[in-house]
């Protein structure tokens, strides 16, 4: 059978081939013959107008076009599988996946409560909870790998719908408890001079931090950035680095060898719930957003 209609079975065959790396092994895994699989893959290449892989003696090597096609094919198959699940599960009421990205912060216990309560009300729902920084969460939402994100303000309002969550984080400097600045009550802009700084990846946050500290953003000499905190802790503890972050981080990484000192002037941000504009949501995801919105409205400001 040709693939003039881009048969999704052949997309699956291609994905299996990339996973096992060999046409003979892929044919065995797919319960077909090697000549049949080779023919279908060749027809696929004709259909897309590109060579997707180079056939070696023992394994295949993906071309640049093949790498791109693998990513797109996997996304198509994932979307199709999700749609089938939603259609099947919706027969029993709200069901199916809720894909959430969330920063590690003071908001996390609230997210856990929201998910647990919502799932009690809708037992056929299923959540995938992804921990990351704001940059990664936005990228995953833009690529349709996440439905919603919970991150720190500010956000790009042109791209996302948003609900402000009145849970506040205080910004400051995270460091080893024996660091030179650890005994200070506050950190001011000039304290950061000549420090080995780490910080968030989001440019919009870096600019906000510079504004708070009344500094030119170019004077903040970041020597690295990070998404989550865990892997940079040895740099703070053993190599005299300082991380610009939020006080809620220490709720996750409780370590008596770490200290948080807030900025002065006091620098705070709230959290926000976001999802893409001009993008359709499943009934389950929309219901979860509506539920969380109700919970947010009942929170003290």
DSSP 68-80: HHHHHHHHHHHHH
Q: What is the DSSP letter of 255?
A: -
Smallest Cα–Cα separation from 246: which of 114, 129, 101, 134?
134
> Between 34-48 and 8-20, two packed helices, what is the crossing angle to 10 degrees?
110
Domain residues of the chain, as ranges? 8-85, 95-167+271-298, 169-267
CB 158 within 8 A of CB 127: no
pTM over 0.75: no
The domain 95-167+271-298 is placed in CATH, from the list 3.40.50.720, 3.40.190.10, 3.40.50.1100, 3.30.1490.440, at 3.40.190.10
pLDDT at 70: 92
pLDDT digits (tens, 9 = 90+) for 182-198: 999 999 999 998 899 99
Q: What is the DSSP letter of 200?
A: -
pLDDT at 145: 93
pLDDT digits (tens, 9 = 90+) for 221-235: 899 999 888 889 999
Q: What CATH number was assigned to the domain covering residues 169-267?
A: 3.40.190.290
pLDDT at 89: 57
pLDDT at 194: 87
CB 66 within 8 A of CB 53: yes
Residues contacting 286, CB < 8 A, separation 6+? none
pLDDT at 6: 63
Instruction: Say whether 95-167+271-298 and 8-85 share the same fold.
Output: no
Other Cβ atoms within 10 Å of 280 Cβ, number: 7
pLDDT at 251: 84
Q: Please name the helix (run of DSSP H) or strand (run of DSSP E) that holds residue 241, with its range, or none.
A: strand 241-246
pLDDT at 8: 87
Q: What is the DSSP letter of 198?
A: E
Second CATH level (architecture) for the domain 8-85: Orthogonal Bundle (1.10)
CB 239 within 8 A of CB 176: no
Residues of the chain with pLDDT under 50: 1-4
State how far the alpha carbon of 5 is from the alpha carbons of 1, 10, 48, 75, in Å: 10, 10, 11, 17
3-class secondary-structure state, position 274: strand
């Amino acid at each position: 059978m040709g693939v003039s209609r881009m048969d999704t079975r052949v997309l699956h065959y291609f994905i299996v081939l990339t996973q096992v790396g060999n046409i003979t092994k892929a044919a065995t895994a797919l319960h077909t013959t090697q000549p049949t699989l080779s023919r279908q893959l060749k027809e696929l290449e004709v259909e897309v107008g590109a060579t997707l892989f180079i056939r070696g003696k023992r394994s295949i090597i993906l071309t640049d076009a093949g790498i791109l096609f693998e990513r797109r094919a996997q996304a198509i198959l994932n979307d199709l599988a999700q749609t089938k699940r939603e259609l099947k599960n919706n027969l029993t009421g709200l069901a199916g996946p809720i894909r959430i990205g969330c920063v590690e912060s003071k908001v996390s216990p609230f997210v856990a409560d929201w998910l647990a309560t919502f799932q009690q009300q809708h037992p056929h729902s299923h959540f995938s909870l992804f921990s990351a920084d704001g940059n990664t969460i936005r990228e995953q939402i833009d690529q349709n790998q996440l439905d919603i994100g919970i991150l720190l303000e500010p956000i790009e309002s042109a791209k996302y719908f948003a609900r402000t969550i009145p849970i506040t984080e205080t910004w400051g400097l995270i460091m080893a408890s024996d660091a030179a600045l650890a005994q200070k009550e506050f950190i001011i802009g000039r304290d950061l001079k000549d420090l080995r700084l780490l910080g968030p990846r989001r440019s919009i946050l870096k600019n906000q931090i510079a504004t708070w500290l009344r500094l030119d953003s170019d004077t903040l000499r970041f020597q690295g950035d990070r998404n989550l905190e865990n892997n940079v802790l040895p740099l703070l503890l053993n190599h005299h680095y300082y991380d610009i972050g939020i006080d809620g981080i220490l709720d996750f990484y409780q370590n008596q060898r770490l200290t948080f000192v807030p900025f002065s002037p006091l620098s705070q941000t709230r959290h926000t719930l976001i999802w893409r504009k001009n993008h359709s949501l499943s009934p389950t995801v929309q219901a979860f957003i509506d539920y969380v919105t109700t919970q947010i409205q009942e929170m003290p400001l």
